[in-house]
Amino acid sequence: MRMTRQRRVILETLQEKKTHPCADEVYEIVRQKMPRISLGTVYRNLDILSELGEIQKIELSGSLKRFDGNPAKHYHIRCINCDRLDDAPMPSLEDIEGRLHGSTRYKVIGHRLEFMGLCPECMEKAASRW
Amino acid sequence: MRMTRQRRVILETLQEKKTHPCADEVYEIVRQKMPRISLGTVYRNLDILSELGEIQKIELSGSLKRFDGNPAKHYHIRCINCDRLDDAPMPSLEDIEGRLHGSTRYKVIGHRLEFMGLCPECMEKAASRW
DNA sequence: TTACTTGCAAATCGTTTGCGATATA
DNA sequence: TATATCGCAAACGATTTGCAAGTAA
């Protein structure tokens, strides 16, 4: 794995940003420092970095994927109104997979959990409509 | 809501099929009964039916969406090898959202949970390689 | 009758890929 | 220097949409 300037900047960007940006948002941010970087390069590096475990690709609802500079296991909560995504303050439920043993013929390997809700801003806006 | 022939056939197809097909698979099945139906019609009806709560759109990992003729809350388990999707034999964890209260500023509305694993067939194949 | 729905085709959107040029180790 | 990576642009696959014609209520 060759540490290119592009790869480093993408990784740093993701580690600083706490907003779980999608590929296109990463591209826009990185472009301010490296105007000639291409979107293809961003996609390629996000893939490589998540395969290395440096970042994680958030594979849940929503048509466009988000990326998280924190590679540790944790859940997220998504605003159903504005699509903002935050960390969910809840430890990983390690026991949850064990509940399936015996009742499924699958070999259970992992799980994904995501919460849905209204973020503080959207709640505010909804409230002020009344 | 106007019950067209197309809409009825799509709904019935989904209720019979236990495999959680994607839009294109629904299209292929329905096409055997109605050769002139278009893929656009399938997409439009899957959307309408899931908004009505007659079926559900499975909004989880994977780039293409799956549909379930059973509108009741339940979880799924996905084979990481062949992408087969089955119902997970586990009741809905209603208490899980309550654990977030107090620790998040979101108004929690729901959650999505999906298990990952190896289906019986893929386990078999993996085993026979040794 | 009329507004909702269809079939068709083109458009859109996120993402991936082929290629020749570039730069890291 | 060798080869992984880049920028660019075209390709891709799933999904959506505009429109004129068809049809359920």
The CATH number of residue A53's host domain is 1.10.10.10
Model pLDDT, residue A60: 84
Average pLDDT, chain B: 94
Name every chain A residue with its beta carbon within 8 A of the beta carbon of B93.
96
Instruction: Determine the distance in angstroms separating the CA of B33 from the nearest CA of chain A, rounded to an integer.
Output: 31
Q: Are A83 and A56 part of one and the same domain?
A: no
Model pLDDT, residue B41: 98
List the domain range (segments joined by +) for residue B43.
Answer: 1-69
Q: Are B103 and B124 part of one and the same domain?
A: yes
Put simply, whether the predicted model's pTM sits higher than 0.85 gets the answer: yes
Q: What is the mean pLDDT of residues A34-62?
A: 94
Model pLDDT, residue B130: 66
Residue among B93, B113, B120 whose CB faces A105 most closely: B120
Average pLDDT, chain A: 94
Q: What is the mean pLDDT of residues B101-129?
A: 92
Model pLDDT, residue A130: 65
* Contact indicator for A55, A10 with CB cutoff of 8 Å: no
Contacting residues for A120 by C-beta, under 8 A, at least 6 apart:
B105, B106
Helix (H, G, I), strand (E, B) or coil at A17: coil
**Does nucleic acid strand D have an atom less than 7 angstroms from the CB of B118?**
no
Q: Are A61 and A77 part of one and the same domain?
A: no
Inter-chain touch B88–A105, beta carbons under 8 Å: no
